[in-house]
Copies of this chain bind each other. A is one copy, B any other.
């Protein structure tokens, strides 16, 4: 699930696709029905922790992966595939060195979450999104804009590589 968002961002950076970003209001009705999430799920910042991750390279990101009640219950129960209604959120931040922490440690070793960069979602509906493994995907930049179609089309092919119902992230106890 590092790929949720991270694959997208990698593509965006590699292809210069940042220029393809469009505002949510600019998304046309032609996208419906689609497998793109165009509205941020309510209350996601209050969801429970699934796990954390870090990508090096161009991404240089920290991720906190959260899940709604349906998703977290499925993780804890070991239920695969995920049931309809499961939503997984990946909150991405810059991966930055912490001067204050390094001083406390007496050496450079601490990295913390810097500015937020984007948040990405996967919503499970096995019928509505059957063409993309049962998942809809969404990528929202920090300024509220959504990723363009060229970027969004890269989500499901990448997630299809994950061995657990298109989800990369494992649950951390």
A residues adjacent to B (C-beta < 8 A): 2-3, 6-7, 10, 45-46, 48-49, 51-57, 59, 62-64, 66, 91, 93, 95, 98, 100-101, 103-105, 107-113, 116, 158, 161-163, 168-170, 172-173
Contact = CB atoms under 8 A, between A and B. Distances in A.
Contacts of A64: 49, 51-52, 64, 172
Contacts of A168: 98, 100-101, 104
A1 to B, nearest CB: 8
Task: In the A-B complex, list the 7 residue pairs whose CB atoms are closest, starting with the nearest.
Answer: A54-B111, A56-B109, A2-B101, A57-B109, A113-B172, A104-B161, A52-B52
Question: By CB atoms of chain B within 10 A, which of A51, A53, A63, A105 has the most?
Answer: A105
B3 A101 contact: yes
Contact of A173 (B49, B103, B116): B116
Given A46-B48, A64-B51, A112 B163 contact: no
Copies in the complex: 2
Contact of A162 (B7, B57, B104, B105): B104
A116 B105 CA distance: 22
A55 B106 CA distance: 13
Given A3-B105, A56-B108, 10 more contacts: A6-B101, A49-B49, A54-B62, A54-B95, A56-B110, A64-B172, A93-B172, A100-B168, A101-B168, A104-B161
Contact of A3 (B49, B62, B104): B104
13 contacts: A2-B98, A2-B101, A2-B104, A45-B48, A48-B48, A49-B64, A52-B63, A54-B110, A57-B107, A100-B162, A103-B161, A104-B162, A112-B169
